[in-house]
Amino acid sequence: MTRWPEDDHELAAALASAAGDVLLTVRAERGHGDARALKEAGDRRSHDFLAGALAEARPGDAVLSEEGRDDPARLDADRVWIVDPLDGTREFSEEGRADWAVHVALWEKGRLTAGAVALPGERTTLRTAGSGALAGDAPLVAPAPDASRIRVAVSRTRPPDFVQRLAETIDAEVELVPIGSAGVKISSVLLGRADAYLHAGGQYEWDSAAPVAVALASGAHASRIDGAELRYNQRDTWLPDLLVCHPSLAPLLLAGVRDIADPPPVPGLSSTA
């Protein structure tokens, strides 16, 4: 039986990193000849590893996993691990790509209290610590952006119409940076490779819980795109939109989103025409 860390931050990091090793092994064993079989094997092996390890390390806690059966008992639990065993499944199956991740978050009585995002392709893990956040062993502090030229991380494969419209609305130059996986996109913001991640149109709690836990611990802004709090361990796990960025960019981006939803009147055009 493995000796798992007593500390929840350490446990999240150890589990995410170890699941990342499982996924690297699956990739090496199977190769990229059959993408569908590789995706299925990755999802399954990583989930089985995380579910087994959590049952061993924290037998009293509930688990919500993308790949597991949803047990409604989690709604009455004080501690729920929210995991995405393989985020960026498509990218995992594509040879040479490193934009896929493992997410492990802990929710306690209404808020995220610990989390880790393993980036196995980069051999590093971003995680919460007792206070603050770490990338590997180095302190992780949300980097201040240049507000005149904003690099926005977007999906590689789902058309970023919403972000495109936002780019036309706000008073700044916007560069779209296509990256796979929600966890890698949020990590890119936290590592200073992008300035914001804006997503609308659909996602589930496991896609964002762990990277949002790390983002908040690092001092970054993370909210729904209307500025509301991101809430986890809800009955319906659909969490369709979010914004992660440096706090200094949040007012500009949230105002841009409001303008898209409620476009300002065009001078000279009557609304009662």
Ligand X SMILES: Nc1ncnc2c1ncn2[C@@H]1O[C@H](COP(=O)(O)O)[C@@H](OP(=O)(O)O)[C@H]1O
- Chain residues 156-175 in contact with ligand X, contact rule CB under 6 A: 157-158
- Placement of tokens 């949040």 in the chain: 250
Tell me if 139 contacts ligand X by CB under 6 A: no
- For residue 241, state whether it binds ligand X (rule: CB under 6 A): no
Residue 66 annotated as lining a ligand binding site = yes
Q: How far apart are CA 118 and CA 249, in angstroms?
A: 26
Query: Is 207 near ligand X (CB under 6 A)?
Result: yes
- Minimum Å gap between C-beta 182 and Mg ion is 6
- Of 5, 110, 139, 201, which lies in the binding site for ligand X, with binding defined by CB under 6 A? 201
Residues in the chain, how many? 273
Q: Which of ligand X, Mg ion, none does 42 bind, CB closer than 5 to 8 A by kind?
A: none
- 203: tokens are 């996602």
When asked if residue 203 is in the footprint of ligand X (CB under 6 A), the reply is: yes
| Cβ atoms within 10 Å of 116's Cβ, excluding its own | 32
Shortest reach from residue 149's CB to Mg ion, in Å: 29
Q: Which does 8 bind (CB under 5 to 8 A by kind): Mg ion, ligand X, none?
A: none
CA 141-105-21 angle, to 5 degrees, is 90
Cα dist from 87 to 168, 179, 196, 199, whole Å: 30, 12, 19, 15
CA-closest candidate to residue 46, choices 102, 130, 120: 102
Residue 60 sits at φ, ψ, to 5 deg, of -90, -5
180 near ligand X, judged by CB under 6 A = yes
Residue nearer to Mg ion on the CB measure, 24 or 172: 24
Q: Mark residues 118-137: x for contact with ligand X by CB under 6 A, - for none.
A: --------------------
Decide if residue 207 touches Mg ion (CB under 5 A): yes
Distance of closest approach, residue 129 Cβ to ligand X, in angstroms: 25
Phi, psi (degrees; rounded to nearest 5) at 202: 140, 135
Task: Scan for tokens 């008992």, then name that residue.
Answer: 73
88 touches ligand X (CB under 6 A): yes
Query: Known binding site for Mg(2+): residues?
Result: 66, 84, 86-87, 207
